[in-house]
Amino acid sequence: MPDQAKPQSTARCPICARPAAEPFQPFCSKRCADVDLNRWLSGAYVVAGKDEEDEDGERTPDRPRD
């Protein structure tokens, strides 16, 4: 069983529950890592308690607000 050479393969991506991939530990892909990062940043903003402050206009255009 040469497949057991990777003990880290037991880790699971916290985003989609797939087996984590080494370059993106503990995530399975950069996409999931980005998802978690965005969640973290969103949470950080809330925790930081910054009132109605906009993000310096640096937000990505994937969520158009009107």
Among 1, 8, 11, 15, binds Zn ion (CB under 5 A): 15
| Ramachandran sector of residue 57 (left: φ over 0; alpha: ψ -120 to 50; beta: rest) | left
Which residues inside 18-37 make contact with Zn ion, applying CB under 5 A? 18, 28, 32
CB nearer Zn ion, residue 37 or residue 45: 37
DSSP 21: P
Residues near Zn ion (CB under 5 A), total? 6
Interface residue list for Zn ion (CB under 5 A): 13, 15-16, 18, 28, 32
